[in-house]
Amino acid sequence: MREKELEKLKEYKYGFSTDIESIKAPKGLNEEVIKFISNIKNEPKWLLDWRLKAYERLKILKEPDWQKPKYPKIDYQNLYYYSAPKSFKEKPKNLDDLDPKLLETYKKLGIPLQEQKRLNNIAVDAVFDSVSVATTFKEKLTEKGIIFCSISEAIQKHPDLVKRYLGSVIPITDHYFATLNSAVFTDGSFVYIPEGVRCPMELSTYFRINASDTGQFERTLIIADKGSYVSYLEGCTAPMRDENQLHAANVELIALDDAEIKYSTVQNWYPGDKDGKGGIYNFVTKRGLCKGKNSKISWTQVETGSAITWKYPSCILKGDNSSGEFYSIAITNNHQKADTGTKMIHLGKNTKSKIISKGISAGFADNTYRGLVDISRNANNSRNYTQCDSLLIGNKCGAHTVPYIKNKNLFSNIEHEATTSKISDDQLFYCNQRGLNQEEAVSLIVNGFCKEVLQQLPMEFAVEAQKLVGISLEGSVG
409 in contact with another protein (CB under 8 A): yes
Burial 346-383 (b: 16+ CB within 10 A, else e): bbbbbbbbbbbbbbbbbbbbbbbbbbbbbbbeebbebb
- Measured distance CA(323)–CA(375) in Å, rounded: 13
Nearer to another protein, 109 or 418 (CB): 418
CA proximity to 216, closest of 194, 244, 192, 249 = 249
Q: Residue from 406, 448, 455, 463 that binds another protein (CB under 8 A)?
A: 406
Among 350, 390, 456, 472, interactor with another protein by CB under 8 A = 390
Contact flag: residue 278 with another protein (CB under 8 A):
no
**Contact stretch for another protein (CB under 8 A) within 16-24, 115-123, 247-255, 408-416:** 408-416
**Range 48-67, binding another protein (CB under 8 A):** 66
* Binding flag, residue 410, another protein (CB under 8 A): yes
Which of left, alpha, beta for 111 (phi over 0: left; psi -120 to 50: alpha)? beta
- Binding flag, residue 104, another protein (CB under 8 A): no
- Tell me the chain's radius of gyration from C-alpha atoms: 22
Residue 23 is a binding residue for another protein (CB under 8 A): no
Q: State in angstroms the smallest separation of the CB of 409 from another protein.
A: 7
408 belongs to the binding site for another protein (CB under 8 A):
yes
Phi and psi at residue 160, to the nearest 5°: -60, -50
Backbone angles phi, psi at 52, to 5 degrees: -65, -35
| Options 39-47, 155-163, 232-240, 385-393: segment touching another protein (CB under 8 A) | 385-393
8 Å CB contact between 217 and 187: no
From candidates 142, 173, 212, 419, binder to another protein by CB under 8 A? 419
The piece of 274-282, 317-325, 347-355, 397-405 that touches another protein (CB under 8 A) is: 397-405
354 binds another protein (CB under 8 A): no
CB 341 → another protein: shortest distance, Å? 12
Q: Based on CB atoms, which residue is closest to another protein, 215 or 403?
A: 403
Asked if residue 356 binds another protein (CB under 8 A), the reply is no
Q: Which is nearer to another protein, 17 or 380 (CB)?
A: 380
Nearer residue to another protein within complex by CB, 154 or 344: 344
The DSSP annotation for 373-404 comes to EEE-TT-TT-EEEEEEEEEEESSS-EEEEEEE
Site for another protein in 420-449 (CB under 8 A): 420-422
Among 198, 396, 451, 467, interactor with another protein by CB under 8 A = 396
- Nearer to another protein (CB atom), residue 167 or residue 371: 371
- How far is the C-alpha of 137 from the C-alpha of 139, rounded, in Å? 6
* Crossing angle of helices 31-40 and 45-60, rounded to 10°: 150
431 Rama class: left (phi>0) / alpha (psi -120 to 50) / beta: alpha
Give the binding range for another protein (CB under 8 A) out of 209-217, 295-303, 336-344, 401-409. Answer: 401-409
Cβ proximity of 155 and 147 under 8 Å = no
Q: Could you tell me whether strands 122-128 and 131-135 are parallel, antiparallel, or unpaired per DSSP bridges?
A: antiparallel
| 131 touches another protein by CB under 8 A | no
What separation in angstroms does the CA of 310 have from each of 371, 378, 399?
12, 31, 15
List the one residue out of 250, 199, 193 whose CA is nearest residue 226.
193
Instruction: Select 205 or 336, whichever has its Cβ closest to another protein.
Output: 336
In angstroms, give the least distance from the CB of 29 to another protein: 28
Residues 6 or more apart whose CB falls under 8 angstroms from that of 130 comprise: 82, 83, 84, 186, 187, 214, 216, 217, 218
Residues that bind another protein (CB under 8 A): 66, 377, 390, 392-422
